[in-house]
Amino acid sequence: MTIFAFALKRSIRSWGNLLLLLGLPMVVILLPRGYDGYPLGFQFYGLLQLFFASKLVHMIMEDRKNKILNRIGVAPITHAAYTAQNLLAFSLLLIVQSILIVGGGWLYHGPDLGNLLQLWMIFCFFAFTAISFSLAWCSWFRHPDASAAVMLGIISIMAVLGGTLIPLEVSPEPLQRISKIVPTYWLHYGIDLAAENRPWKHQLTPLLILILFTAAFLLIGSRRRLA
């Protein structure tokens, strides 16, 4: 069995992860509309992606804690290949989850979601960003419990700065400028563009910036290995 297949298998054999993977779509879809008339669940989904990505990446930290990475060091597979296959498996799970959420949202909310393909694309790109961010964040810690505890606070800060909890248009101007340095801002920007069914050329900006965030986080996470 390849590392990729094993990572997929152990990610969904946990009842907690399976509930997050399949139960979250129902919660996201059924939440009521917000002040702007757009379904709230789709505005909060980015935070759930960050939380789920963190849980998945912490499996790599558990491997280190259980000395599994020491065995990989003498196996015919490099640490880079081990990490890459795990991250690809985690990304696939979040992409499948995004399909369920966008597809179910279309059935429940109809055309109110706007451009479904754009919405799915922004969720997919943010999934990559969430996983790479979790990898970079976890690489600074030696113990999973410490990383997870602080990660919740970081997600809360990103929720405030990115406009998830407080609409940016009512935030102070300095906060609006700072918000552009967090990925959640560009996620919401892309969601707004999809809701308005704007041309694809506008959607390229948040997608490209999320790619840059992903590359930067992967660079940090790979230089500070979880081993």
Evaluate whether 7 touches 90 at the Cβ level (below 8 Å). Answer: yes
Shortest CA distance to 86 belongs to which of 209, 211, 221? 221
Least trusted range by pLDDT, from 18-27, 161-170, 199-208, 213-222: 161-170
* Chain centroid to CA 114: 21
Could you give the CA distance from residue 187 to residue 41 in angstroms, rounded to a whole number?
A: 14
* Both structure tokens of 91: 């990304």
Name the percent of the chain lying above pLDDT 70: 88
Least trusted range by pLDDT, from 23-27, 93-97, 198-202: 23-27
pTM attached to this predicted model? 0.88
Could you give the CA distance from residue 28 to residue 227 in angstroms, rounded to a whole number?
A: 35
Partner residues linked to 33 by β-bridges: 39
Q: With both helix axes pointing from N to C terminus, report the angle between 144-162 and 116-138 in degrees, rounded to the nearest 10.
A: 140
Partner residues linked to 39 by β-bridges: 33
pLDDT higher at 92 or 10: 92
The model's confidence at residue 64, banded by pLDDT at 50, 70 and 90, is low
pLDDT higher at 103 or 80: 103
pLDDT digits (tens, 9 = 90+) for 68-96: 555 555 556 676 777 888 889 999 999 99
What is the per-residue pLDDT for 124?
96
What is the per-residue pLDDT for 101?
93
pLDDT digits (tens, 9 = 90+) for 139-188: 777 676 777 778 888 888 888 888 777 777 777 777 778 888 999 999 99
Distances from the Cα of 188 to the Cα of 144, 146, 174, angstroms: 29, 29, 18
Q: What is the mean pLDDT of residues 218-227?
A: 70
SS3 state of residue 120: helix
Look up tokens 């992409």; give the residue.
95
